[in-house]
Amino acid sequence: MAATTFLHGANVRANGIRQHYLRYGGKGPVVVIVPGITSPAATWGFVAERFGQHFDTYVLDVRGRGLSEASDALDYGLDACAADVAAFAEALALPDYQLVGHSMGARIGIRLARLNPQGLRKLVLVDPPVSGPGRRRYPSQLPWYVDSIRLARRGITIERMREFCPTWTPEQLRLRAEWLHTCDERAIVTTFDGFHQDDIHADLPQVKVPTLLMVAGRGGVIQPEDREELSRLLPALQVADVPNAGHMIPWDDEEGFYQAFGGFLGHALTRPDAA
């Protein structure tokens, strides 16, 4: 077994809140990973381990998740989350960085890129929800998130968690059961509502950095017509498919996830024996 690339977890005050992150690798180009709606940074550790072999990797706890700040008064909107990432990079004096965002994290990345922050050089959008005003709704339902969070706050077994994630491995279920209670319910509801209220399509023409869109073949989130529209809005958009994965791509097809990056980030993520 290869030695871990995990370095440490830490907190930084940026954009007026406590932001928690995990760091892997410590060498090479900087990659910032922004997870999805109910994915604290710890649940992306297995991905960050691979990234850490080639990149100085930071995985964020988005506000209201994991060990980052949460409160009854905190703004959980898309603009605030995007500003968090910009402030995080500035607070840590990160050099040029590449952002990999999954689902909610991809929408945060789009809004961030619209702001044209100093240092952002590349953007990877992993199966972003393409819902918005007047558009097809996001296929997941809000009770799926809220019900599981409420159970997790009381203490949930991996067997009960399997009812929500039936295809996941026991290890994956155990990690989600351990960390899901850290997701603030109001943060999740605000983000879910934002999937249908925030217009990320209006942001895309203002994205100036090279961008890769990763599409889950079995996710049901991005349809062929969505790909065409996104490519029209951002003509330089590169698109990679992971045909055997659902929306949680690295959970469903981890090696397919890494292969989909190709050389976009400047270094292939596939194992030498996975070619």
Residue 68 lies in a domain: yes
Residue 146 lies in a domain: no
pLDDT attached to residue 275: 43
Residue 29 lies in a domain: yes
The total number of structural domains in the chain stands at 1
Residue 10 lies in a domain: yes
The segments of the chain whose pLDDT lies below 70 read 1-2, 272-275
Residue 147 lies in a domain: no
Which residue type is seen at 96? D
How many CB atoms within 10 Å of residue 202?
A: 13
Beta partners for 24? 6, 57
- Please state, in angstroms and rounded to a whole number, the distance separating the CA atoms of residues 5 and 50: 8
- Please state, in angstroms and rounded to a whole number, the distance separating the CA atoms of residues 63 and 42: 14
- Please state, in angstroms and rounded to a whole number, the distance separating the CA atoms of residues 38 and 105: 11
pLDDT attached to residue 2: 61
Residue 168 lies in a domain: no
Q: Note whether 164 and 144 are within 8 A (CB).
A: yes
Residue 192 lies in a domain: no
- Please state, in angstroms and rounded to a whole number, the distance separating the CA atoms of residues 115 and 97: 15
- Structural domain of residue 101, as residue ranges? 6-139+198-274
Residue 164 lies in a domain: no
Q: Name the strands in the sheet holding 56-60, side by side, starting at the edge strand that comes first in the sequence.
A: 6-14, 17-24, 56-60, 30-34, 97-102, 120-126, 211-216, 238-242
Burial of 231 (0-12, 13-18, 19+ CB in 10 A): middle
The interaxial angle of helices 185-197 and 104-114, nearest 10 deg, is 60
How many CB atoms within 10 Å of residue 89?
A: 23
Tell me which residue of 104, 113, 100 sits closest to 76, measured CA to CA: 104
Helix (H) or strand (E) holding 203: none
> What are the structure tokens assigned to 140, written together?
């997941």
Secondary structure of 29-44 as H, E, C letters: CEEEEECCCCCCHHHH
pLDDT attached to residue 70: 98
CATH assignment of the domain containing 219: 3.40.50.1820
- Please state, in angstroms and rounded to a whole number, the distance separating the CA atoms of residues 35 and 105: 5
pLDDT attached to residue 273: 56
- The torsion angles phi and psi of 56, rounded to 5 degrees, stand at -85, 100
- Please state, in angstroms and rounded to a whole number, the distance separating the CA atoms of residues 144 and 95: 39
pLDDT tens profile 175-191: 999 999 999 999 999 99
| Complete DSSP assignment for 106-135 | HHHHHHHHHT--TTEEEEEEES-----TTS
